[in-house]
Amino acid sequence: MKIGLIGGHKIPSLIKNEESIVVETKYGNVSVESSSIGEHKIFFINRHGKESNIPPHKINYLANIDALAASHVSCILSIGTVGSMKKSIKPGDFVIPHDFIDFTKSRIYTFFDGKRVHIDMTDPYCPSLRETMIDTAKKTATVPIHERGVYLATEGPRLETATEIRYFSQFADIVGMTGVPETVLAREMGICYASICVVCNMATGIQKRLTADEISNLYKKQEPILADFLRNIIKSLHNERTCKCKNILSKAIL
C-alpha cells in the first residue's frame, strides 16, 4: 500500500533510509522522500518545502496534493502543530480532528476553477482513517490523545490575538495554519485524508507569552512518540476501507 505523509517537520524516528525524489506537477515541482515501513511504501512531503522555509500562507498546497496523487497514494496522514484553546487539551497531547473551521483568506482552495464542483465536506476527515487512528491510540498511546476536535485554520504567518482566541474558542478546540486547504484538495482528488495534531502550546491569552521556540522545542520532544504512533497506524492500514472518499467527486459536479 502507498501512503502519503505531510508534515511541517522531518520525522527522523520514522522516515529512515529514504530516497529523495522530485515529482513534477503542473503546479510546480515537489520534493518527496520515499521510504518503506513493513510492506507499505511511504511518500513524505515537508509542506514548507525542502528547506522548510515556506510560510503557511505561501505553501503550494495544490502541488503537494497533486504530487501525492501522482505517486498513487491510497491515503494521506497529515501531521500539524497546533495551539490549544481548551484547558482540557494540554501541550504534549495529540488531537485527531473531526471537523474544521476555515479563517484563511488568500489561498487557492480547489483544483476546479473551470467547473462547478461542490465537494461534500460533511466528514472533512476520512472516517475510516480516523477510526484506525483512534483504535491504534486506544491500544498503543503513551500520551493523551483526543479522539475529536474542531480545527480552526488561520491565515498566518502571525499568531492570533487574545481576542481572536476568545472568539474562536467558542466554536473550535485547536488552532493552526496549515490544515486548510489540504483536506479540501485531498477530498477533491478522492484521497483519504486524516490529521494528527501535536499540541505545542496553549493559545494566546490562555498562557502569558508565546514564542516560536516553544512550539519547536515541544515538537522535538514529542517527535519520537509521534513516530511510534504513526508507525503503529501505518502497520494497521489496509487497502479495504468503508469510506466514500474515493468516489465522492462523482457526486460533486453540476
pLDDT at 9 over 90: no
Pairing state between β 150-154 and 174-176: parallel
Q: What is the pLDDT of residue 219?
A: 86
How many domains does the chain contain in total? 1
Domain enclosing residue 194, as ranges: 2-251
Pairing state between β 28-37 and 19-25: antiparallel
User: pTM for the complete prediction?
Assistant: 0.95
Q: What is the CATH number of the domain that holds 28?
A: 3.40.50.1580
Pairing state between β 40-46 and 145-146: unpaired
What is the DSSP secondary structure assignment for residue 62, as one 8-state letter? H
Q: What is the pLDDT of residues 98-150, one digit of tens each?
A: 999 999 999 999 999 999 999 999 999 999 999 999 999 999 989 999 999 99
Average pLDDT rounded to a whole number, residues 188-194:
97
Distance CA 108, CA 100 (A): 17
